[in-house]
Structure 1
């Protein structure tokens, strides 16, 4: 017993070791402005944003419905969930590999091998020896029992393998969350573009009607000899251009409807009824909460996925280094049997075999060292990839903040131009009623008003899409809660006039 304990003591000490370096976390990256975004304008608040369902701040129930449908029906989200289940199953499988495996077995062996001579009786020819030596060439074995296999993880290689697969599973979860972030932003952008196209179609149709009147009035003056033919041609060219813009707007509407249908897991055309009614372009809230760069790095799913892949690569170094140490495995067999079929029913024929095995690669011509170098290089690559993803995330946030500030200024300027065009059209209507100007001049003024409104709508759509880009760059998306714990997020009221004030640009 004392000798056995002496042999097992160093094995126990070795079993407590873990090969490879312990994971110390991702590298830290200092931002230029410390705990604030460099490009944040006066409309940006440093408060933490809501973690999910950010689109409810736009206050559009149809958009909320589309986002809810996409979470359930989008094939990409379903595929991401399936990848998570695959990763979790791999983790369960690897954990199970560390435990002993027991299997039932039943064996029947019939062999006739000339010259085998497995007899245990007297030699042939001696008294009592069998006369027919063919019996000594036959072998019959019957056995029913259990066998077990177990490899002891002395160097921690299996534990490091489980650590790596666990990190990969966490990366799969983060990748699925990133897919949902991308999907939520894509739906919101397509919806805003749809509303802009619908409003553009209505405005261009009104411009077409006005231009038709201008063409008719111009042609009348031409027939009266008051104008040359050239202005008639120009008026007709303007009308044809507006007709082409109507066709373009209608095509854009159909494209965005089909895009939204596919993003929600429906066939093209399935959402035409839901999206047929025209609505205003949703406006972002007056103030935008973004938090700080450190919170962005901790929140963004793609950053978390890159960090988990770095942890997995670090654990694989331990898997490679474990090959340097000896491996000890045990195989055990326990069963009933003998040379006759009835022997498997006799408890007295119990057989037990224990087969310990020691394997140590003393000379592998540098294979293990090369494997370790490869794992370390993979860890370095994962670390560089992590830094690349973090820098890309910070770039996305800073650029979206800079563009959003410019887009707000653009909306404020175009809102002022639109108000001036409205005032000019109202004055011209009064002048036309007083007979000071012609109907053609009034129609031209009204056309300029419609064009100014169309330009403002495009700017509003760009500003809302800029706000959506901020939410995407912050890594915001869905928060999946149970039905009993789901809480509604009340959107903040949005004042369209306050968003367009020049002093807020």
Structure 2
């Protein structure tokens, strides 16, 4: 009879499982939040197009092997990115734990084997066996049924957290790729400015020689020599600051790529000059930002996880129903027992117990209700942060696209300015040598030429920085 009851219990377990999974879940279900969405960019310019572009490897358009090497190295060696990968493993394990909570929460096997010697002088031992063995082997389990969806909501929350950890990894990939490219283009811009500075130092050194020769010949006073010398030293004084900026950029690349500063300095010796900047930017459709940017996707998933925790908090308001039971074999026999009496693996040794139970925290003094209110407040605050993230993403993209357009316009003007300044310097030097002008004109023209060339190099570098910022704001790099 006992065996039949046990078989009936085991046969009812699938029914209980189906009943549990088919029950409703307390708490709100997820619905995609209505966040702000735009359909076109405000920057109406021919340089900005709405064409589609593969943003996963946007840096390859520059056809720069060094840049590609640095980005790939950073993706393999960056310590922070490695930590983000381990966060994914942590979230995956947390999801596995949440899934396991849905099934019987407590299971344990137990067993023992004792040799027992009772005291002859103990109570109630006159007719008992004083020396015997006791063997026990069994299994015990307890299962809190998920009638209110607490564990299923826990799985929903853990799944969202796991997906959010993946988006967090992707978001750092976007940031890391952009930071490496930005530091690389900053370094190349500095090197171009150093070349301009060295060219001007050579020209001004030649001007000092000319002024000194004319002074020795008696054509000019010592004023021209001192002016030429002051101009040369002022230009030379700029070089240490540029070299310091170069060292800082190299060190930034070293940190981002996980390499030593010495490696970056050796690598910078092989850097190619800046290529021509891109003339157009394919920005796609603004609404694609909501699907493309990992930080927005992560914020959405974090809000979804928080919503599931509202259901978990609400389920604590209701009674929890559990089924517990144990089954096993137990046998005790004296040392004088025959082999036939020592039947451990037999139906006579079988024992089991099972039954339902419930618990309901009736007097919780508002703790459970306020926990629900707290989780709702967290959820709505996350929705507000999500809306702010979307608006910030649009602003970042618009700013980057505007910078791309206006720096191009600035370069066009500065190229003409630099061309005119170089021509003015050449004419001023010719007139000075021929005695038609004093050195003040040479001084002014040289300063203007150096300023124009440096501003032109900086503006070209700013175009590359705006390209990097645009792809970063569009979520490119994963």
> Do 1:221 and 1:227's aligned partners in 2 also have CA atoms closer than 8 Å?
yes
What is the rounded CA distance, in whole Å, between the counterparts of 2:138 and 2:163 in structure 1? Answer: 41
- Partner of 2:458 in structure 1? 458
SS in 2 for 1:209: helix
Question: Within 5 Å, which residues of 2 pair with 1:357-368?
Answer: 357-368=357-368
- Given candidates 41, 65, 71, the residue that maps to 1:67 is 71
SS in 1 for 2:325: strand
- Partner of 1:42 in structure 2? 46
Return closer, same or farther for 1:218/1:147 CA change in 2, 3 Å cut-off.
same
> Do 2:277 and 2:460's aligned partners in 1 also have CA atoms closer than 8 Å?
no
Q: Deviations over 1:378-407 (max 9, x none)?
A: 111111111111111111111112222221
- Partner of 2:55 in structure 1? 51
Return closer, same or farther for 1:226/1:111 CA change in 2, 3 Å cut-off.
farther
- Given candidates 236, 242, 245, the residue that maps to 1:243 is 236
Alignment of 1:106 onto 2:137: no
Alignment of 1:262 onto 2:255: yes
- Given candidates 10, 15, 18, the residue that maps to 2:25 is 18
> Do 1:145 and 1:336's aligned partners in 2 also have CA atoms closer than 8 Å?
yes
* 1:189 shift after superposition: 0.8
- Given candidates 140, 163, 185, the residue that maps to 1:192 is 185
What is the rounded CA distance, in whole Å, between the counterparts of 2:161 and 2:297 in structure 1? Answer: 11
- Partner of 1:485 in structure 2? none
SS in 1 for 2:262: coil
Question: Within 5 Å, which residues of 2 pair with 1:190-339?
Answer: 190-222=183-215, 226-339=219-332
What is the rounded CA distance, in whole Å, between the counterparts of 1:455 and 1:89 in structure 2? Answer: 54
SS in 1 for 2:316: helix
Return closer, same or farther for 1:188/1:334 CA change in 2, 3 Å cut-off.
same
- Partner of 1:477 in structure 2? 477
Q: Deviations over 1:425-479 (max 9, x none)?
A: 666788799x58689777986775454333211110011101111111111113x
> Which consecutive unaligned segments of at least 5 residues does structure 2 have?
6-11, 336-341
SS in 1 for 2:351: strand
- Partner of 1:345 in structure 2? 344
* 1:229 shift after superposition: 4.5
* 1:170 shift after superposition: 1.0
> Do 1:428 and 1:437's aligned partners in 2 also have CA atoms closer than 8 Å?
no
* 1:278 shift after superposition: 4.4
More displaced 10-residue stretch of structure 1: 233-242 or 293-302: 233-242
* 1:191 shift after superposition: 0.8
Return closer, same or farther for 1:357/1:112 CA change in 2, 3 Å cut-off.
farther
Q: How many residues align?
A: 455
- Given candidates 123, 134, 149, the residue that maps to 1:156 is 149
> Do 2:20 and 2:145's aligned partners in 1 also have CA atoms closer than 8 Å?
no
* 1:173 shift after superposition: 0.8
- Partner of 1:379 in structure 2? 379
More displaced 10-residue stretch of structure 1: 41-50 or 100-109: 100-109
What is the rounded CA distance, in whole Å, between the counterparts of 2:369 and 2:202 in structure 1? Answer: 80
> Do 2:84 and 2:169's aligned partners in 1 also have CA atoms closer than 8 Å?
yes
More displaced 10-residue stretch of structure 1: 346-355 or 84-93: 346-355
> Do 1:178 and 1:302's aligned partners in 2 also have CA atoms closer than 8 Å?
yes
What is the rounded CA distance, in whole Å, between the counterparts of 1:459 and 1:273 in structure 2? Answer: 27
SS in 1 for 2:175: helix
SS in 2 for 1:37: coil
* 1:212 shift after superposition: 2.2
Q: Deviations over 1:305-358 (max 9, x none)?
A: 110011011111100011122212222222222345996834231111214321
- Partner of 2:164 in structure 1? 171
TM-score by length of 1: 0.81
What is the rounded CA distance, in whole Å, between the counterparts of 1:355 and 1:65 in structure 2? Answer: 65
* 1:255 shift after superposition: 2.0
* 1:206 shift after superposition: 1.9
Q: CA RMSD in A?
A: 3.4
More displaced 10-residue stretch of structure 1: 139-148 or 353-362: 139-148
> Do 1:41 and 1:405's aligned partners in 2 also have CA atoms closer than 8 Å?
yes
> Do 1:40 and 1:401's aligned partners in 2 also have CA atoms closer than 8 Å?
no
What is the rounded CA distance, in whole Å, between the counterparts of 2:117 and 2:324 in structure 1? Answer: 25
SS in 1 for 2:95: helix
What is the rounded CA distance, in whole Å, between the counterparts of 1:439 and 1:68 in structure 2? Answer: 56
What is the rounded CA distance, in whole Å, between the counterparts of 2:172 and 2:405 in structure 1? Answer: 27
- Partner of 2:420 in structure 1? 420
